[in-house]
Amino acid sequence: MSVDTAAIVVLEIVNSITILVLLALGLALIFGMMRIVNLAQGEFFTAGAFTVLSAVRFGHLPLWAGMLLAPVVVAGIGIVIERLIIRRLYGRPLDVMLATWGVSILLIGLITVIFGAVTQGIPFALGNFQVGRYSYPEYRIVMTTVAAGLMLGVSLLFRYTAFGRRARATIANPEMASAAGINTPRMFMLTFGLGAGLAGAAGAIMAPIVGVVPTMGALYIARAFITVVVGGPVVLVGTLSSASALGFIEALISRFSLFQIETAGHCAPPPCAINIGGSAFFGQIALLIFAILLLRLLPQGISGFWRQRR
């Protein structure tokens, strides 16, 4: 393999990991920490993308301003939903699932009513750079930088601020936290809002490379859940390590053909063979198989396994 191909493969792996981190980060707080199976998480992502679309198209704001606005707007939506619905259902996981599913359908409906069911796009103007024979879009690097920034920001927030300590205490033991004078309902609300806001940020950052359509959340929610579940109980480290493992496998299998199966039929040029691996299709399959294997071998997720070993 030549140097430039090796470099491009590394970039592809980083890109796969980036997308998984972006998708999973918000859910890591809501599902990983708060144990809320939030089926509306995909729609928070959608809402972020539509915030950017509205800001650019109707508010005539620059793209970056729309992207800064998106997490704020979506965090607001998240907080309203927490106050109105989720709050009443803590400790009732099945009911929360049903309720957030309803919220998901409601949000898709609302967005469709406002923006129509059409696919829309947000063009962007960044260039590309040369890696040997390949040219690679600069925006992918921006995405990775933002994902790393968000990850670092969330980790610092929970580790070093008063808010973070209170939120962790609340989630670890709500009664004790409450007895210690922490306003626990407020902590739940803010953590949920933060998780929603992060999904909104992900939607905003990915909006320029994907089609913006009310049902787009469905394309991403499964991967978000898989990443968080495989990550296990140590939320941030777990999410990062599972995104890395899954993204690595996905990118590698998307790129390289593992083996060939000879077939009859039409092909150009003959003889006919199907490559196993080496396409986006096999990348997706590999990600799912690997996730299943990991969960079979490490039922507590990657970070759960580490925790046991310690």
Partner 1 sequence: MRRPLNRREFLRTAAAVGGAAAAPALLKLRPAWAQGKKVPVGSLLDKTGGINIYGLPAIAGTEFAVAEINAKGGLLGKQLELIQYDTQSDIANFPKFAKKLILEDQVAVIHGGITSASRESFRPVIDEYKQLYFYNIIYEGGVCDKYVFVTGETPTQQMGPIAKYALKKYGTKAYTVAADYNFGHISWKWWDIFWRNGGGLEPVAGKKGQHVGKVEFIPLDVTDFNATINRIQEAKPDVLMSFLVGGAHINFYRQFAAAGLKNKIPIVSTTFGFGNEHIVLDAKEVEGLVACYPYFDELDNAQNRTFKAGMKKKMGDPNYYIGDAGAESYNGWHFWAKGVQKAGSFEREAVTKALESGIEWDSPMGRVKMDPASHHTVFTMHLAAVNNKRGWNVIESFPNIPPTETMQLCDLIKNPNQHTQFQPK
Residue ranges binding partner 1 (CB under 8 A): 5, 8, 12, 15-16, 19, 112, 117-121, 123-124, 126-128, 133-137, 139-140, 208-211, 213, 215, 219, 251, 254-255, 266, 268-269, 278-281, 283-284
Under the phi-then-psi rule, with left for phi > 0, alpha for psi from -120 to 50, and beta for the rest, what region is 183?
Answer: beta
Toward partner 1, which CB reaches closer, 254 or 303? 254
Toward partner 1, which CB reaches closer, 182 or 209? 209
State the residue for tokens 């390949």. Answer: 134
Rounded distance, CA 43 to CA 47, Å? 6
Toward partner 1, which CB reaches closer, 144 or 170? 144
Distance of closest approach, residue 36 Cβ to partner 1, in angstroms: 26
State the residue for tokens 């008063």. Answer: 162
Q: Beta strands 273-277 and 134-137: pairing type?
A: unpaired
Chain length of the chain:
310
Q: Other CB atoms closer than 10 Å to residue 100's CB: what's the count?
A: 22
Toward partner 1, which CB reaches closer, 123 or 181? 123
Rounded distance, CA 70 to CA 53, Å? 10
Distance of closest approach, residue 191 Cβ to partner 1, in angstroms: 29
Distance of closest approach, residue 77 Cβ to partner 1, in angstroms: 22
Toward partner 1, which CB reaches closer, 160 or 256? 256
Toward partner 1, which CB reaches closer, 190 or 246? 246
Q: What is the DSSP letter of 310?
A: -
Q: Which two tokens stand for residue 180?
A: 């210690």
CB-facing half-sphere around the CA of 181: CA atoms within 13 A: 0
Q: What is the DSSP letter of 179?
A: H
Rounded distance, CA 58 to CA 274, Å? 48
Toward partner 1, which CB reaches closer, 15 or 303? 15
Distance of closest approach, residue 9 Cβ to partner 1, in angstroms: 8
Contact (Cβ atoms closer than 8 angstroms) between residue 86 and residue 39: no
What DSSP element (H or E) covers 259? strand 257-262
Contact (Cβ atoms closer than 8 angstroms) between residue 197 and residue 72: yes
Distance of closest approach, residue 117 Cβ to partner 1, in angstroms: 5
Distance of closest approach, residue 289 Cβ to partner 1, in angstroms: 15
**Cα torsion angle, 171, 173, 174, 178, sign:** negative
Distance of closest approach, residue 24 Cβ to partner 1, in angstroms: 15
Distance of closest approach, residue 103 Cβ to partner 1, in angstroms: 18
Toward partner 1, which CB reaches closer, 178 or 260? 260
**243 Cβ neighbours under 8 A, 6+ residues apart:** 17, 20, 21, 24, 227, 231
